[in-house]
Structure 1
Amino acid sequence: MSSNSADAPNPGPTGTGNGPAVSRREFDALFEAVRTWGRWAPADRGAWNRVTADHVRRATAGVRSGTVVPMALPWNTRPGPDNRKPALHHMTDLGDVEAPEPSTHKDFIAADYHGKGVTHLDALCHIVYRGQLYDGRTAHEVVDAAGARFGAVSTLGPLVTTGVLLDLPAALGIRWLEPGQAVHAKDIIAAEKALDVTIGEGDAVLLRSGHVRRRAELGAWDPDAASAGFHVDAVPLLAERGIALLGGDGDSDVRPSPVDGVHSPVHALAVAAMGVPLLDNLDLEALSGATAEAGRHEFLLVVAPLNVPGGTGSPVSPVAVL
């Protein structure tokens, strides 16, 4: 792994690169081990059923300074290696004065948001593994051209819980994880110790790899080809802790995938097996600074997806409140 520190080599998480490799048989066994099908009602809210009113009250009670930190990337209309389907934004009304007053300015926005350029939430209907959605629903029976009749983003509503920032670069004393670097279960445990934080039931876990900082300093690259993220061997620990939401400044998966024939294995495990929605493409740089200043890596997390009946997810603008 190359150095990204002016003072010392980057030790990175334990291990090197995106390995170890995982066979499809081993992955399928892991899928079965973390699967929570049949556990909750309503099933299409999946692991979000863990977040009760008591969880929300505890999360809000943890607010101290009242500092609000936004975590959404800017609306990105410029094509690049990490934005192959740029978002759209154009003006539809430039304020021409017509009686009666006042005049107006109006604009149009749109995005094919499931990619690398837009901060978004993945709903449970977004991921299909072996032809099935979460809870064993057959994909072709519940999803069609009109949208999804199970696991749609509209069933989730606003998501409010305790967020935990796993700030790996801060824990390791480096600037960022290099693209292609896997984060393992033992790295999560080490980060918890270094950051004095513990992931609990109903929490949202956000992984900071330093992706946004690296891009700002070195330029864009293709994160589909190489990005830091969780190795599949980290998922049983997250399942054991009972998380309700998973996200990061990438899309949670280390790339290249360590699993033969599965391009997004953490997506499959989290969404299709565990019923855990995902937050992709967060900007966690300001939150990293705010949590370091506060000396705490827990916060109130608020995510309000658009109410799109049948939608597979939504662009979002999450906020952390410390």
Structure 2
Amino acid sequence: MADTFKTAQNRLAAVAASLTGGLVGASHQFPAFEDLPKVEGEPQGCIWGLFDKEGKKDEVGTLNLLTPAVVLAASREICTGEHVQLDWPLHNVQFPGFGRKEFSQTKIDLVESLNFKAMDDELYINTQSGSQWDSLKHFAHQATGKYYNGLTHEQATQSDTNGIHNWCERGGIVGRGVLVDWLRWYEHKNGKAPSPVSRHEITVEELEETLKWQGTTTRPGDIMLIRSGYVRWHDNASDSERKSGTQDNSVAIGMQGSEKSVRWLYDHHFAAVAGDTVAFESWPPKFEEGWCLHEWLLVQWGTPIGEMWDLEKLSNLCVQKGRWTFFLTSAPLNVKGGIGSPPGAIAVF
């Protein structure tokens, strides 16, 4: 099996190198979804091995698309210098779901211990309980137990492979951000939007209509953000509504998990994706159908997923500017083997 897997990796790299069309990130090319060489034990569409170099397994996935040329092109989005941070305050998720601990802060007076009038603070953060990036070792393919590029669950628990530190060592995440303001489009067209704490599925057709309505065109290597209304709901909900919607019921709005969604995401070749909802995709996924977006984005392609980003001020600024593209920077926590991190994300216009 190991030889078969290696052969598939070599074939994938060879196919990508031989193509003349589909230039991505000024240095990467992709076969069509159907033409990707089969990787033993994985579904059609797996790209393991595409970014490997000199026999070393890649650990950053589609962030490889953020080449200096792509970043330089993204910098041309900066026109006025206005900027907005996309991290929700760490304390905002009052009732974290999935049994996770809430954020806490301890403020420390240093007068007695150091004889200085100064202060420290100590924080507890579960990196999945607020604005976050999911690393490539956060979520495995549930049937095979493998993470990006063939890392097994046992290996993941005993190593730093695929950790977020790899993103930091390559300079963080910097590129062109694209907001797909589905919520604003939906309310403009249909009135009241579906509840963010329902399992409403945002379809590819709706995303395409939103982009057309905004007059926005995506490019390979973009960082796509989808606004669904979850953060707006949470900011305006009562304590009891928050507890019911976030802790008592693990159900949330998001992008539809389907073959059409997977193919659309693959064809657009995003460097990373993010949203303002709990899991980016509609949750819980239908694992038995084989189209869980966590399994495709994180596992098959190595595409980081951002969740619970605050896109409210960004949405308003995009309307004010009449454009939904911007320069985006993100500095995750530089933790060796990190599994999740607040994004430290800033959009600049």
SS class of match (2:288): coil
Alignment partners' CA distance in 2, 1:194 and 1:307: 38
Look up the match of 2:87.
Answer: 72
Unpaired segments ≥5 residues, structure 2: 1-41
Alignment partners' CA distance in 2, 1:85 and 1:185: 34
1:159-238 paired onto structure 2 within 5 Å? 159-172=173-186, 173=188, 174=191, 176-178=193-195, 179-219=198-238, 220=242, 221-222=245-246, 225-233=250-258, 234-238=261-265
| Stretch of structure 1 that moved more, 43-52 or 148-157 | 148-157
Alignment partners' CA distance in 2, 1:295 and 1:301: 17
Given that 1:97 and 1:103 are in contact with CA atoms closer than 8 Å, whether structure 2 keeps it comes out as no
Which letter maps to 1:112? N
1:69-148 paired onto structure 2 within 5 Å? 69-76=84-91, 79-80=94-95, 82=97, 84-93=100-109, 95-96=111-112, 99=115, 102-114=116-128, 117-129=129-141, 130-144=144-158, 148=159
Alignment partners' CA distance in 2, 1:191 and 1:290: 17
SS class of match (1:180): coil
Alignment partners' CA distance in 2, 1:32 and 1:257: 17
Higher helix share: 2
Q: 1:33 to 1:196 in 2, by over 3 A?
A: farther
Given that 1:88 and 1:109 are in contact with CA atoms closer than 8 Å, whether structure 2 keeps it comes out as yes
- RCO higher in structure (CA 8 A, sep ≥6): 1
Please give the TM-score of this superposition, normalised by the length of structure 2.
0.75
Q: 1:90 to 1:239 in 2, by over 3 A?
A: same
- What is the deviation of 1:84? 4.5
- What is the deviation of 1:64? 1.2
Alignment partners' CA distance in 2, 1:78 and 1:181: 21
Unpaired segments ≥5 residues, structure 1: 1-30
Q: 1:49 to 1:97 in 2, by over 3 A?
A: closer
Look up the match of 1:153.
Answer: 164
- What is the deviation of 1:161? 0.6
Given that 2:74 and 2:327 are in contact with CA atoms closer than 8 Å, whether structure 1 keeps it comes out as yes
Given that 1:142 and 1:150 are in contact with CA atoms closer than 8 Å, whether structure 2 keeps it comes out as yes
- What is the deviation of 1:316? 2.6
1:303-318 paired onto structure 2 within 5 Å? 303-318=330-345
Instruction: Give % identity.
Output: 24
- What is the deviation of 1:202? 0.7
- What is the deviation of 1:69? 0.7
Alignment partners' CA distance in 2, 1:50 and 1:43: 13
Given that 1:92 and 1:105 are in contact with CA atoms closer than 8 Å, whether structure 2 keeps it comes out as yes
Query: Does residue 1:39 correspond to 2:55, yes or no?
Result: no
Q: 4+ runs of 1 displaced by more than 3 Å?
A: 81-84, 94-99, 174-177, 258-262
1:275-314 paired onto structure 2 within 5 Å? 275-314=302-341
Given that 1:128 and 1:139 are in contact with CA atoms closer than 8 Å, whether structure 2 keeps it comes out as yes
Alignment partners' CA distance in 2, 1:184 and 1:32: 22
Which whole-Å deviations, capped at 9, do the CAs of 1:11-31 have from their partners, x for residues lacking one?
A: xxxxxxxxxxxxxxxxxxxx7
- What is the deviation of 1:142? 4.2
Alignment partners' CA distance in 2, 1:53 and 1:240: 22
Please give the TM-score of this superposition, normalised by the length of structure 1.
0.81
SS class of match (2:297): helix
